[in-house]
Amino acid sequence: MEKIKGTNQRAKEYKIIIVNGKKIYEYQHIWEKHHGKKPKEMMIHHINYNKKDNRIENLMLVNRKEHGKLHRKENKKIIHCREDAYKVILLTG
Ligand SMILES: [Zn+2]
């Protein structure tokens, strides 16, 4: 595991992989393999709120507004599914 500045404890739970030399969230990569390129303005939500559960059936495309609502509804304080949240890179080849 390689640390870069501003390591964020919460963000450590995201798994990041390198695809064609580009860093990408594993969940995003999995979603895109099934559905094609993710629209920029949309976010991928983990349905069961488990950031490590990157099974396609646990991933759901939502817009920011819906995403905020989902998290408020579940009263989850954790930040997840945020594309700018990660600070730790896991190299998985
Ligand atoms: Zn979410």
Per-residue pLDDT tens digits for 20-73: 888 888 999 999 999 999 998 899 999 988 888 899 999 999 998 888 888 877
pLDDT for 90: 40
| Cα(67) to centroid(ligand 1), Å | 6
| Cα(81) to centroid(ligand 1), Å | 5
pLDDT for 78: 46
Contact 61, 30 (CB under 8 A): no
Contact 55, 67 (CB under 8 A): no
Tokens matching residue 36: 């094609």
Contact 68, 49 (CB under 8 A): no
pLDDT for 51: 83
State the total domains in the chain: 1
Q: Which residue has the tokens 């059936």?
A: 57
89, pLDDT greater than 90: no
Tokens matching residue 7: 């390591």
pLDDT for 24: 86
What is the pTM for the complete model shown? Answer: 0.67
Of residues 80 and 31, the one with the higher pLDDT is: 31
Residue 24 sits in a domain whose CATH number is: 3.90.75
Residue 58: give the domain boundaries: 2-89
Q: Write out the DSSP string of 43-91.
A: EEEETTS-TT---GGGEEEEEHHHHHHHHHHTT--S--S-TT---EE--
Of residues 52 and 12, the one with the higher pLDDT is: 52
Rg (CA), the chain: 13
| Cα(77) to centroid(ligand 1), Å | 11
Q: Which residues surround ligand 1, an ion (CB under 5 A)?
A: 45, 81
| Cα(88) to centroid(ligand 1), Å | 19
| Cα(51) to centroid(ligand 1), Å | 8
